[in-house]
């Protein structure tokens, strides 16, 4: 009987995860630093707003009907289609803009961020949009007042103010 020779880690075919090898550390650092220059998340926005941060303004780029359903407290309403006409009267180019739309399945915030950047605004996209804002249990404003839904236990940080990041 022939006993198969065990494979060493060096002999094994790479997993699907490493079929494309990771980038060199310097390249990865540059990529992730650049990514953070373009994106923020709902936990960081919420924490900053709760602390009274005034170095950015939040813009909801959804339709009026969507805005009326609920929006981030203190956000400004500027639908993507109205950016070219209304941004100048609503936003200060000296203040960074954090834009959001529905959620991760929507690229409306990306379109809005692009439009604002083309007009000369410094802008970041809030990852997760209003969907993750609500799923994390944060309060929203409506014409009827403020409301809060319970956090989604599968997406919200458990037992902490943030994800521990």
The rounded average pLDDT for each run of 10 residues, N- to C-terminus, in the chain (165 residues) is 58 88 97 97 97 98 94 97 97 98 94 98 97 93 84 65 53
Task: Return the pLDDT at 11.
Answer: 65
Closest CA to 125 of 51, 49, 60: 60
Closest CA to 112 of 54, 151, 66, 156: 66
Closest CA to 163 of 41, 72, 37: 41
Paired sense of beta strands 96-100 and 76-77, if any = unpaired
pTM score of the predicted model: 0.83
Give the distance, in angstroms, between the CA of residue 110 and the centroid of all CA atoms in the same chain: 10
């Amino acid at each position: 009987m022939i006993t198969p020779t065990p494979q060493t880690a060096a002999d094994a075919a790479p997993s699907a995860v490493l079929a494309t090898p990771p980038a060199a550390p310097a390249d990865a650092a540059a990529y992730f630093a650049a990514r953070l220059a373009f994106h923020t998340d709902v936990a960081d926005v919420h924490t900053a707003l709760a602390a009274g941060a005034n170095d950015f303004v939040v813009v909801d780029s959804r339709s009026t009907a969507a805005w009326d359903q609920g929006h981030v407290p203190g956000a400004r309403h500027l639908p993507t289609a109205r950016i070219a006409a209304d941004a100048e009267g609503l936003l200060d180019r000296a203040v960074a803009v954090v834009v959001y739309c529905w959620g991760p399945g929507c690229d409306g915030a990306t379109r809005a961020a692009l439009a604002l950047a083309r007009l000369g605004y410094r802008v970041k996209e809030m990852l997760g949009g209003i969907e993750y804002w609500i799923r994390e249990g944060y309060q929203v404003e409506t014409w009827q007042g403020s409301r809060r839904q319970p956090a989604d236990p599968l997406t919200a940080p458990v037992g902490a103010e943030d994800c521990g990041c």
